[in-house]
Amino acid sequence: MPSLRSLLRRLTLPLPYAASTWLTRAVVGTLARWEVVGTEHIPADGGVILVANHVHLLDPPLVAASMRRRVHPMAKRELFEVPLVGWFFWAYGAFPVRRFSADLAALRVARTFLRDGEIVLMFPEGTRGKGALRTQMRPALPGAAMVALMARAPVVPVAITGSNVAIPGVFWAWAFGRRPRIRVEFGTPEVLPPQRPDAHTAEVVTDAMMRRVAALLPEENRGVYGAATEGTIVVQRAPAGPEDVPTDGE
């Protein structure tokens, strides 16, 4: 029989995610003209990898609020080190990653979620653009591709446009009836064929995944994955880690 502590934990842990998702839907639905397209492409059950472009800090809860199934976002480790904020991210269901490095521990956590039939949300660009480049795609890191190769879960591209709103400027825009347009589009799922999860394969798969995301975006937002780089592999190489890449048998 479960203890009182474990029972309380099981009952309360879903609350931060549910509250955040409800609040996001209420705020975005009020302040913006929010459009969600392609949710029928998300498998109803089983492990799924969502691969999205990254425009704004609020992109993870925005994607979560755009669908019915719960998602587990991969987020930068620094957020988990902030008192209270870190607890919320753990309770929300997010998991940490050391950005711009070969963080094999984060990849293993992602693979575990997928094998348990959960949805993992990843932003392979690792960070958001600055200034005029903020809405354009940047070279992606190969971590999401490595997870897809190891877990062999379906990959769903997600394109986000219009979320680069200024706070508190968006409130003034809403007050004057000029709500920004925000669009979240889910593409069709793709299951990668069995391949060895080595560095070269991960780079090829990374480029292919990000071009599927780019295909859902307007040309002006595709950045390095636009027509000018077609036929080349665009990827941001992470420093080599001290460990070998884990195999499916691990």
- 71-110 residue pLDDT tens: 999 888 888 888 877 778 888 889 888 765 666 788 889 9
* pLDDT-based confidence at residue 6 (cuts at 50, 70, 90): very low
> In this structure, is residue 237 part of a structural domain?
no
* pLDDT-based confidence at residue 184 (cuts at 50, 70, 90): very high
Q: How many CB atoms lie within 10 A of CB 32?
A: 20
What are the DSSP E strand ranges found in the chain? 33-37, 48-52, 71-76, 95-97, 119-122, 155-161, 181-186
122 DSSP β-pair partners = 51
Q: Which domain holds residue 144?
A: 8-229
Determine the Cα angle at 95 with ends 196 and 28, to 5°: 115
Give the global pTM.
Answer: 0.85
Within 2-123, residue ranges assigned H as helices are 4-12, 14-31, 59-65, 77-80, 85-92, 104-115
> In this structure, is residue 130 part of a structural domain?
yes
Mean pLDDT of 213-221: 96
> In this structure, is residue 247 part of a structural domain?
no
For residue 123, CA distances in Å to 8, 12, 189, 223 come to 32, 28, 16, 15
pLDDT recorded at residue 10: 52
Mean pLDDT of 161-183: 80
Among 13-22, 66-75, 130-139, 159-168, the range scoring the smallest mean pLDDT is 130-139
> In this structure, is residue 30 part of a structural domain?
yes
CATH code, 21? 3.40.1130.10
CB 143 within 8 A of CB 238: yes
pLDDT recorded at residue 131: 57
> In this structure, is residue 163 part of a structural domain?
yes
3 or 198, greater pLDDT? 198
Mean pLDDT of 15-41: 92
Mean pLDDT of 101-123: 87
Number of domains, the chain: 1
pLDDT recorded at residue 178: 81
Please give the Cα distance from 211 to 227 (Å, whole number). Answer: 10
Residue 65 reports pLDDT greater than 60 = yes
Query: Torsion-angle region of residue 135: left (phi > 0), alpha (psi -120 to 50) or beta?
Result: alpha
